Chains A and B, each alone.
Chain A
Amino acid sequence: MIAELTASNLDILNSLTESLFTVDKEFRILFMNSAAEKLTGFNLKDVKGKICKRVFECDLCLNDCAIVKALESRTAVSNLRSVISKNDGTKIEIKLNASILNNDLGEPIGGVVTFNEYDTKNRVEPIESFFGIVGFTNSMLDIYNLINEISLSNAAVLIEGETGTGKELVANAIQANSLRRENCYLKVNCSSFSQELLASELFGHVKGAFTDAKEDRIGRFELADSGTIFLDEIAEMPHSMQIQLLRVLQEGTFERVGEAITRKVDVRIIAATNRNLTDAIREGRFRQDLYYRLNVIPFHVPPLRERLNDIPPLTKHFIQKFNLQYNKNIIDIDDDAMEILMNHDFPGNVRELENIIEYTFVRTKKDHSICRCSLPCFLKQDINCGKRKMKVEKKITADILLTMLKENKWNKKKVAESLNVNRSTLWRYLKEFNIE
């Protein structure tokens, strides 16, 4: 139990300009300070004992509750942006922090949330995204269109793409846009388990099925019944497990490990891999029949080097994300730094870009922009900030560019080489001349 606040503690909390409320372990409001009452229009006496979600209707409640994030990360979370409802029904945008209240034994007994109305001035305009995916190149727009087209389908989906391209985000978008969006959605990384554990994880087991099976355990397929399951790194699934997965796909049936009872489920499967499954089939590591069953609706997420135009919006997106995380107000990245990013191959794709931006946030000394000197060493040349590289550029016209693009079958790398310019310069020309 959380101890009642003393009068002096109450005075202190009520003197804060920051809004604050606390909840118990059932997420019932225990206390709300005067600033919170003023900002939201709720009175403590009316909301005390009520579940915070029902009072504030925060948009993070369903999937990204700040208190749960603090609970799971075992650390306070800060600067989350959210929208809550006021007592009069209007919405306000807030910035909030949350932390967990523990008892003397270190067990969680509640949470505390502090928040302020979000200052809409001086903020970076949010980048539009498709279910959290940022990217506006044609290849990404094709993916969004396909996700919309299959929204009424329950067919299996196979997502292929290099590591770090955002396959899981695509899977999330497919699920969130499907008929099963309100139902259970579970994720399993097939490479994280041994064969025996994976079977138990997916299909469950009965007591005594193996040494550590001390009681019956329900598997992910049963838990996800009528919902969706995301099987990441499907190529790593042991061969003997593949036949069991094939049966689930064909008949919807399986048995728990150590049990003879056949169970039936209705689960949509979304699988993903960064491997070339055709090679895996040829090498006998992946079943061809399973491949065809999974590959009903195929997606290929392109590597970042094939969608250079997405680097600037993705960079802005990560700047926004890390502004909140690191409590900074970086507005943009300077041209030199962007040029370096545009010329990098990104073998780790979007994840690598995200890591690079986070690195620059830690290192940058400027208040509002990221400069090239804060980029990781492996990216930059040894040039100090402000000393721009002098370069003679040819006079390029839209006609010349179009002709060269046609001659080189739109291979931008070859065109850049022919013009003796780097890829970022070519990208700038294309943008300037409005050539897609």
Chain B
Amino acid sequence: MLANYHFINRKYCNAIPELEVELFKNPSNNINKKKLIICYTQSDNLQKAIDLFIDLLLQDIDLIIDTDVEYEDCPCPDLIAMLENKTIKRESELNLFIELGILWLYCDRNESVKYFLHARKLEPSNKSLNTILNLLQQS
């Protein structure tokens, strides 16, 4: 419940430990995974976000794709706007494209694929990117 509070208030770094504890207690709670992925992207923890993202794509890809942005109070549209307008910056273009790819999947699958393809151009041998793109193309 505390995790939800921090998430609603966009206090991602405060939400992370709460969500991690919840997930430890109930590892199959994909709703919490869905939130934790966003939190990781906003706390400079992109690798953890990618790992959990792949995990959720494998288990329930539709949970992300079918996000009701308004009802779920999803922060992704705001975060995407800040990243695309460069209000918030990332240390590399690769990280930026991956983060945008992840966040766009909550809003628009095609945009998400577009960003993951941009990322793969920069690093064609990246295993995680290939896995993500395969899973998205199968969906």
Q: Which residues of A contact B (CB under 8 A)?
A: 25-27, 49, 51, 53-54, 61-62, 65, 67-68, 71-72, 108, 110-111, 184, 186, 218, 222-225, 227, 265
Known contacts A223-B16, A223-B43; A184/B4 CB under 8 A: no
Find out whether the CB atom of B5 lies under 8 angstroms from the CB atom of A65: yes
Q: Which residues from chain A contact B58 at a C-beta distance below 8 Å?
A: none
Q: Are B8 and A27 in contact (CB under 8 A)?
A: yes
Contact with A223, one of B2, B9, B13 (Cβ below 8 angstroms): B13
A contact patch SS: mixed
Q: Which of B1-39 contact A (CB under 8 A)?
A: 1-2, 4-5, 8-9, 11-14, 16
Given known contacts A51-B8, A184-B13, A223-B13, is B1 in contact with A25 (CB within 8 Å)? yes
Contacts of A265 in B (CB 8 A): 44
Taking A184-B11, A184-B14, A223-B13 as contacts, is the C-beta distance between A218 and B4 under 8 angstroms? Answer: no
Give chain A residues whose Cβ lies under 8 Å from the Cβ of B12: 184
B131 to chain A, nearest CB (A): 21
User: Which listed residue (B8, B16, B43) contacts A53, Cβ 8 A?
Assistant: B8
Q: A26-B4, A71-B1 are in contact. Are A61 and B44 (CB under 8 A)?
A: no
B21 to chain A, nearest CB (A): 12
Residue of B nearest to A65 (CB): B5
Name the interface size band of chain B: 10 to 19
Subset of 18 A-B contacts with CB under 8 Å: A51-B8, A53-B8, A61-B9, A67-B5, A68-B2, A71-B1, A71-B2, A111-B1, A184-B11, A184-B14, A186-B13, A218-B43, A218-B45, A222-B43, A223-B13, A223-B16, A224-B13, A265-B44
**Given the complex of chains A and B, what is the CA–CA distance between A67 and B5 in angstroms?**
9
A61 to B1, CA, bound (A): 14
The answer to the question of B78 belonging to the interface, with a C-beta cut-off of 8 Å to chain A, is no
The reply to whether B14 and A62 form a contact with Cβ atoms under 8 Å apart is no
Chain B residues whose CB sits within 8 angstroms of the CB of A111 once the complex forms = 1
Q: Give the docked Cα–Cα distance between A65 and B6 (Å).
A: 10
Q: Name the residue of chain A whose CB is nearest to the CB of B91.
A: A264
Quote the shortest CB–CB distance from B81 to chain A (angstroms).
16
Known A27-B8, A218-B16: A225·B44 in contact at CB below 8 Å: yes
**Contacting pair B2 A27 (CB below 8 A):** no
Give 7 closest A-B pairs by Cβ, nearest first.
A223-B13, A25-B1, A184-B13, A108-B1, A26-B4, A68-B5, A225-B44
CA distance A26 to B11 in the complex (A): 15
Residue ID in chain B nearest A183 by CB atoms: B13
What is the CB-to-nearest-CB distance from B54 to chain A, in angstroms, rounded to a whole number? 17
Name the B residues within 8 Å of A27 (CB-CB).
4-5, 8
Closest A residue to B5 by CB, please name it.
Answer: A68
Given contacts A111-B1, A223-B13, 16 further A-B contacts (CB under 8 A): A27-B4, A61-B9, A62-B9, A65-B5, A68-B2, A72-B2, A108-B1, A184-B11, A184-B13, A184-B14, A218-B43, A222-B45, A223-B16, A223-B43, A224-B13, A227-B13
Q: How far is the CB of A64 from chain B (nearest CB, A)?
A: 11
Q: Which B residues are in CB contact (< 8 Å) with A62?
A: 9
Min Cβ gap B3→A in Å is 9
Say how far A33's CB is from chain B's closest CB, in angstroms: 22
Considering the chains assembled together, what is the distance between the CA atoms of A295 and B71 in angstroms?
48
Residues of A within 8 A of B73 (CB): 51, 54
Chain A positions within 8 Å of B9 at CB level: 53, 61-62
- A61-B13 Cα distance, complex, nearest whole Å: 17
CA A49 to CA B5, docked complex, whole Å:
15
Which residue in chain B gives the minimum CB-CB distance to A62? B9
Residues of B within 8 A of A72 (CB): 2
CA distance A397 to B22 in the complex (A): 69
Cα separation A184 to B15 with both chains bound (whole Å): 11
